[in-house]
Structure 1
């Protein structure tokens, strides 16, 4: 490892600097004063801690930020980045699906997703596919990629290594890969092959650092010690899916809340 890379890696092990006040305030406004967010979305804030999570990752309003598999965070990121930044929506490449209907829906999504959100994103946002021949962005051009509760899907599809390689290529040196992922207990006999939605934190760290990233920081912002992780259907037994068997089980799982989640900040080394 070059000395400059080693120095940066060591520096990244230190606690992250606090965001400037204006950047912190912009995140707060995108969460609490956002006209595009629904009541149902806001009800999840107590479990997902969006303002704290985005501040932990160091996201600012002038960044270029990619969100794989857009979902619950999209309205927040769109509002935050609309005026000064750029939002990139990422979906799975159609060629990875054997179902013709799903491939057609994927193409329709790419063509219509940004327009379907009206004025949320501004003029610079765009939608792309991951793992295409041309890639979704130029090398060293993206400030941050935020993977919210999506990594298990790439593991199950056997594309995690390819996805991480593409993320590494497009991120700028010093760029952030933020990961929020359902967390399996380290002593659990469960494996990714069980497809329960949970991954061990050690597994995630090993996979991402193997791809060249440095673990800069980790947080318990999205931890939930009440999550017993023993649901027959896996993580989908908990809210918001709540795919439990009986009314009694659903009431019990509703009281638990959403899953226990790791929150990891990785950085691409470089000057």
Structure 2
């Protein structure tokens, strides 16, 4: 299993300044200048002037340069974002896959209550992005059609019950991800860690999940663990606190796994 650690911040900053100079051209121009290097491509896409100003405010704590470099997204890829939320990563995936690629941002329909028109407004200018709404165990994609599936900060919501109803069956959700991925496709899982041994109900109470539970369910669905990044780990987190509390918000201990669908 491959481990991935933080990219040197000075290197990221230097590359970001370099590719910002390409920002007046098309996104593909800046990304072409970055070549095939995952870290350089991450720096280039983060420097694009098309990014909403409010997204930059989250960068220091979300560390997208490191997350994107770890994912190594190539032009032409088809990516399905399970629970893409407000589209922070959608905005970055879209230019990375380019005009020949596709990004599908998914959210459960009950999320409309707090997302409103945020996603619709964000993707209006992103021609390679499609929006879909469904429960986690009923994903809108053809069998074997996706190169990559991401589920970032969300698997704990398998046990979130807005209005008293679950948003899908947990085993069914990972089976769906397996179904829509191409053989050899990759699946990235990022979430807020709960105290080891925590029950599934932690997903509803403090919006966290035990990493061991994720590993168990994903491997039982047939995926192979292909790597782990420590870039968002924080051993000083207070695991008993809800992730939305100011003392831990955006500073939780977050695990990031890479899984692969067998060829």
Aligned to 1:142: 146
1:5 corresponds to: none
- Structure 2: distance between partners of 1:113 and 1:257: 20
Match of 2:104 in 1: 88
* Pair 1:154–1:133, CA change in 2 (3 A): closer
Q: 1:191 aligns with which of 188, 199, 205?
A: 199
Q: 1:68 to 1:257 in 2, by over 3 A?
A: closer
Say yes or no: does 1:263 pair with 2:244: no
* Distance in 1 (alpha carbons) for counterparts of 2:138 and 2:201: 31
2:174 aligned with 1:155? no
Q: 2:243 aligns with which of 235, 241, 263?
A: 235
Return closer, same or farther for 1:192/1:131 CA change in 2, 3 Å cut-off: closer
- Are 1:202 and 2:212 an aligned pair? yes
- 2:144 touches 2:181 (CA, 8 Å); kept in 1? yes
Q: How far does residue 135 in structure 1 lie from its aligned partner after superposition?
A: 4.6
| Gap regions ≥5 residues in structure 2 | 5-33, 161-165
Root mean square deviation of aligned Cα: 3.0
Q: How does 1:1-271 map to 2 (within 5 A)?
A: 13-14=1-2, 21-38=36-53, 40-70=54-84, 71=86, 72-92=88-108, 94=109, 113=119, 117-119=123-125, 121-122=126-127, 124-131=128-135, 135-156=139-160, 157=166, 159-186=169-196, 190-194=198-202, 195-231=205-241, 234-237=242-245, 242=246, 253=247, 258-270=251-263
User: What TM-score comes out, normalization by structure 1 length?
Assistant: 0.72
The answer (yes or no) to whether the contact 2:195–2:240 under 8 Å persists in 1 is: no
Any conservation in 2 of the 1:114–1:125 contact (CA below 8 Å)?
A: no
Structure 1 distance, partners of 2:140, 2:238, is 38
**What is the CA–CA distance in structure 1 between the aligned matches of 2:250 and 2:82, rounded to whole Å?**
24
Q: Which has the larger radius of gyration?
A: 1
Instruction: Tell me the CA shift for residue 265 of structure 1.
Output: 0.3
How many residue pairs are counted as aligned between the two chains? 223
Is the contact made by 1:214 and 1:269 (CA closer than 8 Å) also made in structure 2? Answer: yes
Normalising to structure 2: TM-score of the pair? 0.74
Distance 1:134 1:149, change over 3 A: closer
Moved over 4 A (4+): 112-116, 131-135
SS in 1 for 2:93: helix
Q: SS of the counterpart of 1:235? A: coil
| Deviation of 1:58 (Å) | 2.6
Secondary structure at 1:179 match in 2: strand
Greater RCO structure (CA 8 Å; 6+ sep) = 1
